[in-house]
Structure 1
Amino acid sequence: MEDSKKMDRISNLPDELLCHILSFLPTKIAFTTTVLSKRWTPLFHSLTILRFDDETVHNYAAFNSVCGFIDTFMLPPRLPNQFIKTFSLKCRFVFSDSNCHILDAWVEAAKQRCIEEFHLSMIARISNDTIFTCQTLVVLKLEWLQVEVENLCRDLPSLKTLQLRFVRFKNKNVLQQLLNASPNLEDLNAYGTSKHDKNSAPVGVKSLSLAKLVRAEMRAIDVPYNVVNNVEFLCVYQAEDIIFKSFPVFRNLIHIKLQFYCFFHGWDGIVQLLQQCPKLQIVFIRKWRSSSSKEWKWPNSVLECVSSHLRSCTILNFEGSANNLQFATYILQNARFLQDMTIDVTTRSSNEMLLERSEIIEELSSCPRISPACKLTFEYK
């Protein structure tokens, strides 16, 4: 029994399995295994998934240490033909222009090693198009970057996932060119602070079609919605007014998430959008502040998606206004295949015209439901 307890089971595992286990660790942590025995050093250097996620760097000394550590993986004497599947770097230390050549060298090395996934989250400028010329790239995630590339006439035939968060393009046409270069894109996450009209676009972008796109998350970015009208899942975060009547028809859309800071159009806008989504099954709506006092009335005819497809409806920050109750009642009385409706009731407002929580629950609980399978759930915050 004593001998079995002391048995080194890890050392008996094959190299391939050990490398697989190490790939789930941050690379800095994986490096500590090299002190165990000589066997672990070549294992460590053969890792194909590299994660340098260090958001604790706050001074040049620590920054230079991290850069030196990354250099040992990305630059010679590491074998130039050694495959790297994933390179991820998250750093909150600002890359000055004088240090951008370091980043350029890492990107070039990643491209030479047929990188498939590239994640970069840092405050820095990208002045060359190297990462946008990598034909093996499947996943590209960029965050907090300033892209200084003037033109991007490239081909990214393998790219399936593109995530841009707080990425600024010096030339807004570069974003269009990036999408044009990605004919097989399936997942687009565009989250930024651009102030351009979403229903207008850089020259040529309205004719762009991402035929294989199935998922899109959009917030304040220079991509009009007609570019993503093939998706099955759409998430819209919006701080400003959206012109719902300008939305294209989303013929494949099954699941939509709408999050508004200012509910300017009220439920009229939501109905206009739902009219463009004939196959919609799941609706999630979150609103922080209502600014429409216009009385909402039921549409003259029942929306196709509501009567024939809607299965789940969730409304967060639901206040006891007449309009809110009207919309919820409309769904309950017309969604024939509705399985669940979740209402997150809030009573934060001091408006005396709003119903109390108990009154909201009583009103909706007593509402007739056309779907006998519908489960009505109330949540509170």
Structure 2
Amino acid sequence: MDTESHSSERNSTSLEEDRISCLPDEILCHILSFLPTKNAVATCVLSSKWRLVWALLPNLCFDDRLCLMYENTRALTEDASTRFEDFVNRVILCDSGKINKFSLRCSRLINFSRLKSWVSCAVMCNVVEIELNLDNYKHIKEAIELPESIYTSRALEVVKLNLKFFIKTPPPGNFFPNVKTLQVALNNLDNNFPEWLFSNCPVLEYLSIKGYLYVGDLVTLNISSLTLKRLTLELVDCAGSDTELEVVIRAPNLEYLYINDYLPISYMVDELHSLTKAVIDIDCEYIGEFQSIDAVAQGVVQLLRGVNNTKFLSWAKGILYALVFARQIEDFFPTFPFLTRFALVVDDSGWHLLPLIFSRMPNLESFVFEVDEVRM
């Protein structure tokens, strides 16, 4: 009887023992890192042991799609958005530890002044990666001012800004002194965009630019960097813009280049001595609608000449379509002396140019040939 009683008491004690809470804070924090920030913070009510564990989380990721319930219209109410912002405000102001990543995805930001304070707090906590994604940034009448500290932080290495931002007074010297990855979305791309933001990053290796074009002026996009290794450039036409965009790329250490442009008019691509892969995506349905076909053809030839040192080349059907109208240009298709792999998409135009194209690729080893059956 005593033995059965002792065994029963031992089993009861085992069931009541909270072994998880006995784990070191470092392990508990690692467990919480797999949860959304909202759920991780909610563990503070479990016990006194858990009250401040969430504050040790290295990554603070806020997404109102996960933290809030959408209504039937899939749009957040103003009250729900305000509650979400209050939650973000409480968490980031209470966090006193080092932040590895601060990520914010918000479909409806009500108080834009809070965003500046959140970024400032993250920078003060030596944040390594910042990602800001505002779904409604295209409809913001005034650009968002980010704190100057974000541009001078020495801890920051990755910056992703998908919002309309500006700097009132640019700080002197270099920007983002240790940032290696920079992704920006520039709304209403014009000659007032912060071009110096790209060229003054001393260790930048990966740059991604998504530009939205609305105006009908001549815009110059100048990208110059001695450290850049990867560049992606995506230009989006909004409401039938007839903007003429001049793109200048000078990056002697660039290894990868991706360009998605609906109307390549002027590309000055120089000194790409290290280029190994180039992907050029052009949609031919816009050619001749806003710009003359001759101007687009000239732009395509100019761009191909700038990337002729690459070892891998891939292009969409718009390239071949434009080359059909470039035959009046002397030596319109350049030689690719180092190219070993080639991928292309063709439709019902430009087939007769393929023998010439392949003859300018003396070291070609393989190619991927895709036929667009939609237009065939």
TM-score category, normalised to shorter length: 0.7 to 0.9
Number of residues of Structure 1 aligned to a counterpart in Structure 2: 327
**How far has the Cα of 1:324 moved from its partner?**
3.5
Distance verdict in 2 for CA 1:235–1:346, change over 3 Å? same
2:32 corresponds to which letter in structure 1? Answer: L
Distance 1:33 1:50 in 2: 15
Aligned to 1:243: 266
The percent identity for this pair of structures is 26
Counterpart pick for 1:71 among 86, 89, 93? 89
Q: Deviations over 1:196-248 (max 9, x none)?
A: 646x45xxx6xx7411100011134988433445311111111123224x332
Matched, 1:233 2:256: yes
1:45 counterpart SS class? helix
Matched, 1:258 2:280: yes
Aligned positions of 1:192-207 closer than 5 A: 192-194=211-213, 197=218, 200=220
Matched, 1:142 2:142: no
Distance 1:137 1:161 in 2: 10
Asked if the contact 1:283–1:314 (Cα under 8 Å) also holds between the matched residues in 2, the reply is yes
Q: Deviations over 1:25-66 (max 9, x none)?
A: 331233344455544443212101110022456122111211
Matched, 1:117 2:141: no
Aligned to 1:277: 307
Counterpart pick for 1:189 among 208, 228, 247? 208
**How far has the Cα of 1:338 moved from its partner?**
3.0
Counterpart pick for 1:20 among 30, 42, 48? 30
Counterpart pick for 1:100 among 112, 115, 137? 112
Asked if the contact 1:286–1:315 (Cα under 8 Å) also holds between the matched residues in 2, the reply is yes
Unmatched 5+ residue regions in structure 2?
Answer: 1-10, 237-244, 288-292
Aligned to 1:163: 183
Aligned to 1:90: 105
Aligned positions of 1:338-357 closer than 5 A: 338-349=364-375
Distance 1:169 1:345 in 2: 34
Aligned positions of 1:174-185 closer than 5 A: 175-185=194-204
Unmatched 5+ residue regions in structure 1?
Answer: 350-355, 357-381
1:226 counterpart SS class? strand
Asked if the contact 2:210–2:233 (Cα under 8 Å) also holds between the matched residues in 1, the reply is yes
1:247 counterpart SS class? strand
Q: Deviations over 1:115-145 (max 9, x none)?
A: 1111111126422543223232111111132
Distance 1:140 1:267 in 2: 35
Distance 2:306 2:191 in 1: 32
RMSD, aligned α-carbons: 3.6
Aligned positions of 1:307-346 closer than 5 A: 307=337, 309-316=338-345, 318-321=346-349, 323-327=350-354, 329-333=355-359, 335-346=361-372
Moved more, 152-161 or 271-280: 271-280
2:316 counterpart SS class? strand
**How far has the Cα of 1:269 moved from its partner?**
5.5
Distance verdict in 2 for CA 1:271–1:302, change over 3 Å? closer
**How far has the Cα of 1:280 moved from its partner?**
0.7
Distance verdict in 2 for CA 1:110–1:335, change over 3 Å? same
